């Protein structure tokens, strides 16, 4: 997670929470998670922060995102 988010201002605590919530997910899933957090922030015309990472994590893990998880790959069935 830290490797994918090097150019963001996510706190270590927020990264730890997101990593715990997405344990077992593939690198492509994590890459998409960080990309979405950055896009959420960009839409709000601000730098990506912890709230954006949390929002993206909840969005990606939402039941409606089963297809995304399937396409991007998940080691475990959540």
User: What pLDDT digit, counting tens, does each position of 4-63 carry?
Assistant: 555 678 999 999 999 999 998 888 889 999 999 999 999 999 999 999 999 999 998 886
Q: How confident is the model at residue 74 (pLDDT cuts 50, 70, 90)?
A: low
Q: How confident is the model at residue 69 (pLDDT cuts 50, 70, 90)?
A: low
Question: What's the pLDDT score for residue 76?
Answer: 58
H or E stretch covering 67: helix 66-72
Beta-bridge mates of residue 16: none
Question: What's the pLDDT score for residue 67?
Answer: 74
């Amino acid at each position: 997670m830290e490797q994918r988010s090097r150019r963001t201002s996510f706190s270590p605590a927020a990264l730890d929470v997101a990593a715990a919530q997405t344990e077992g997910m593939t690198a492509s899933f994590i890459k998409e998670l960080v990309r979405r957090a950055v896009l959420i922030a960009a839409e709000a015309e601000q730098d990506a922060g912890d709230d954006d990472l949390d929002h993206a994590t909840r969005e990606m893990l939402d039941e409606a995102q089963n297809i995304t998880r399937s396409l991007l790959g998940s080691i475990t069935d959540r």
